Amino acid sequence: MRNRPFFVLLVAPLFVALTFCAVGVGWSEGVDGLVAVAQPYGADVAPDSSVSDPEGDVPELRLLLPAPDPGRDLVIQDDIATVQVPRWVVGYPQSFQWVGSTIALEQQTYLDVAPDFRVLDWTRGTTSEAPDAQNPELLPHQDLTRVRLRELESSLLEFYWRCRGDIPMEPVDTAYGAFFADEFARGPDYAVVLAPADAGWMWSVRTPGEARFPWNTASYEDIMSAGVSQSDDGQLTFEMTTAQGIPEVPAEADGSPWFSWAVQQDSEGSDSTAVTLVVVVRWDAGSGEWQAAVMSWDGQDYVDLDIAVAFTLSEVTVSATVGGSDLGLVGSFFWHAMTTIQVGPDEEPFVGLADQAPDSGWVEESIVPATPTPTPTATPTVTATPPGTWRIYLPVICRGVTI
């Protein structure tokens, strides 16, 4: 029974190795070792860092994460896990068929299918649930004993998994899934999956079948290059170019595009759930205009900081300029760029990835401090002394995880 092909390879690790501007998921570590020699520059020029990205590597939107907190509306207590999914994310269904499951992430296969390889029916206004027989061959947290689906008064779908033993809070090679479709015989349209991460359990909505989200990626979200440069007055300019021109008003089906640069001060990688800072140029559907901001994680949400940001949108180029001292950056910092799609109402937004540069890892940018230099005059002055070299981390190209 455990090798039934219907469920095999339906689910892979759903949390790709990237950091969204609305959620933080750790990047794979880059490759250190290439040293780029800095060319001489004048008083108004400073070293910059940049990276190119392949054209046409923007995938169809197949994954949505709750933003900004990928653990939002998720509760794990003892042997029970529940998650609440807004009905609008999956098209306001009136009824569907579904099954629950536990999944071995490394092997990309199911472990248990509940209830006992049968399909359940759910209709609005009803509760769909069933027990599942115990399987002593599985670990306690892999063995489902009951699954349930019900709709809450707030129009949330609540998925429920109960196991034979407590669910570990530390990362394990097990995920929890719920697959559903109008007609399950044709395969699942959507999947809700709870997966472990270093920072705790997270969840997503996935389209493993032929169903599609009403939003999708666009060619102008395909990053061709991204970079960070400095001016002599301490301004940092974050820039990226795209494969096609960025529209003045994005189409409704595009959602709300965000062009973002995630920034870390201290190290190339981060064990945190969220990056330190995000510089973003974003479309705000409410006001019908493009905006720029610096955002910071406050432990529960990303909040806009009171920092002035100048931005430009010109054909295939978008840039944001902000003072390095305003960001509190010293010495060097690490960054990567991304384009994302924001969808949903303000109180329950979701985010999907369009593209990222580099495809894996971070790029290091060194901030050039002013240093005193003697002059022939009796009164010493301060001039900028350029460094000889700076490092650029070249990542291992490993763009996400596919099914």
pLDDT of 328-365, one tens digit each? 888 888 999 999 999 999 889 999 999 999 998 889 88
Q: What is the overall mean pLDDT for the chain? A: 79
The per-residue pLDDT for range 303-320, each reduced to its tens digit, is: 899 999 999 999 999 999
31 alpha carbon, distance to own chain's centre: 22
Residues 6+ apart with CB under 8 A from 391: 32, 34, 35, 36, 364, 366
Residue with tokens 């003072």: 323
Query: Rounded to a whole number, what is the distance in angstroms from the first to the last CA of the chain?
Result: 22
| Paired sense of beta strands 95-104 and 109-114, if any | antiparallel
Domain boundaries, the chain: 35-60+216-391, 71-196
Could you tell me which residue, 391 or 182, shows the higher pLDDT? 182
Number of other residues whose CB lies within 10 A of the CB of residue 351: 23
177-197: b (≥16 Cβ within 10 Å) or e: bbbbbeebeeebbbbbbbbbb
d(CA 103, CA 12): 9
d(CA 305, CA 294): 6
Give the single-character DSSP code of 31: B
For residues 166 and 81, the answer to whether their CB atoms sit within 8 Å is no
Give the single-character DSSP code of 205: E
**pLDDT of 219 above 90:** yes
pTM for this model (two decimals): 0.77
pLDDT the model gives residue 369: 62
pLDDT the model gives residue 31: 20
16 alpha carbon, distance to own chain's centre: 7
Exposed, middle or buried: residue 101 (CB in 10 Å: 0-12, 13-18, 19+)? buried
For residues 395 and 360, the answer to whether their CB atoms sit within 8 Å is yes
The per-residue pLDDT for range 61-104, each reduced to its tens digit, is: 999 999 988 999 999 999 999 999 999 999 999 999 999 999 99
d(CA 246, CA 290): 11
Domain 35-60+216-391 listed as CATH 3.40.30? no
